[in-house]
Amino acid sequence: MKKILFSMLCFMMIALSVLAQSDSVLFAGESHFKNVQQLTFGGDNAEAYWSFDGKRVTFQRTNPKEGIICDQIFMGKLPTKLTDSFTFRLVSGGKGRTTCSYFTKDGAHIIYASTKSGGDDCPPGVDRTKYGNKYIWPLYTSYDIFIADTNGKNIKQLTKSEGYDAEGTLSPDGKKMIYCSVKEGDLDLYVMDLATGKEIKVTNTLGYDGGAWFSPDGKKIVWRASRPTTKEEVEEYKNFLKEGLVAPTKMEVFVADADGKNAKQITHLGQANWAPNFTPDGKHIIFCSNHEYKRGFPFNMYLIDLEGNHLEKISRDKGFDAFPMFSPNGKKILFSSNRNNGGTRDTNVFVADWVD
């Protein structure tokens, strides 16, 4: 009987240990993180980005349990203490699907992409069983980029092309927006002057170019890109585009001058390398990748320099770590993760002190 009880006790201790490891906000080896704080609890929360003064966060959220069946944009003030909770409110109005929000320089407005011009309802998802359960994104033609005040009022439409316009972020001086559009038949990057509306196209190679960011000094850009090369890959990519779809399962990270010149591929890892962003000193890129795992999962965050050298693994969750963004002063980092979700599929927003 004692042996049975001892065995049960050992099993419980192992189970609790595994649970503790899987439901942690900080994992062994995450030496760059300190004072990790979970900001959201439940649902799908992602793409959390700082205001220019580092005091607030805007992010997209879906949570059917709360009646949020389609991504909407929320905003909240960052807690100043680990013991304080994070409260947030809806700022996108609740119509259509919204994504890719970003604060303007004055802190009084945000930009975001929305399908609301195509209707108030959430647009239909993709039936992936038609494509062999391949991971596919819908490129809703009703997506356009809007600017509104932080109360969701005084909305102005910034893009007006008939196709997909989304994935917008702003330059450090707040004067320019880089975004992804299919307006010329391919998924390319454009830089728009917000004051005049004038823009330039900064990518011209076949494939998906998106998720771009300016460097801290505004002189460079970084983005994720697919580059179909074989006849079969090119045909598949073009066929998906005709259906308003893209399959972002093979992407690498690229950098270039802010006008698109001197473009250079800096990762050659295979699989999906995405959500890139500059470190505060502008000398490295932090990005998300699944290249270590043949099955395509988990996703973790990595650092690499601008020459594509000195790859360093940053996060260690066994699920999903992505969308890293450093605070304006470089002392903190925001990211989204599956960690500490109690075994659910919830993705939450976390903030941590950054340790060099």
Nearest Cα neighbor of 197 from 159, 144, 143 is: 159
Quickly list DSSP for 160-197: --SS-EEEEEE-TTSSEEEEEE-TTSS-EEEEEETTT-
Among the residue ranges 8-17, 153-162, 266-275, the one predicted with the least confidence is 8-17
Alpha helices in the chain (DSSP H): 2-22, 231-242
Residues 111-123, mean pLDDT to the nearest whole number: 96
Output the six-digit token pair for 338: 């599956």
Range with the lowest mean pLDDT among 43-47, 127-131, 199-203?
Answer: 127-131
What residue spans define the domains of the chain? 2-354
Closest C-alpha to 202, from 212, 211, 189, 193: 189
CA angle 13, 17, 23 (to 5 degrees): 140
Which backbone phi and psi does 283 adopt, to 5 degrees? -100, -10
Residue 180, phi then psi, degrees to nearest 5: -105, 135
Please count the other Cβ atoms lying within 10 Å of the Cβ belonging to residue 122. Answer: 16
Distance CA(274)–CA(322), nearest Å, equals 9
CB 284 within 8 A of CB 356: no
Give tens-digit pLDDT for 161-170.
Answer: 999 999 999 9
140-195 pLDDT tens trace = 999 999 999 999 999 999 999 999 999 999 999 999 999 999 999 999 999 999 99
Q: For 232, which DSSP code? A: H
| CA geometry: angle 169, 126, 201, nearest 5 deg | 30
pLDDT digits (tens, 9 = 90+) for 276-318: 999 999 999 999 999 999 888 999 999 999 999 999 999 999 9
Contacts of 158 (CB under 8 A, 6+ apart): 111, 144, 145, 146, 147, 168, 177, 192, 194, 197
Domain 2-354: homologous superfamily in CATH = TolB, C-terminal domain (2.120.10.30)
Locate tokens 């591929």: which residue?
A: 265
Alpha carbon distance 103, 306 (integer Å):
26
For residue 2, the model assigns a pLDDT of 35
Least confident range from 8-12, 31-35, 80-84: namely 8-12
Nearby residues of 20 by Cβ (< 8 Å), 6 or more positions away: none
Which amino acid would we find at residue 315?
S
State the pTM of this model: 0.92
Average pLDDT score over the chain: 93
User: What pLDDT is recorded for position 207?
Assistant: 98
**How many helices and strands in the chain, by DSSP H and E?**
2, 26
Cβ atoms of residues 250 and 230 within 8 Å: no
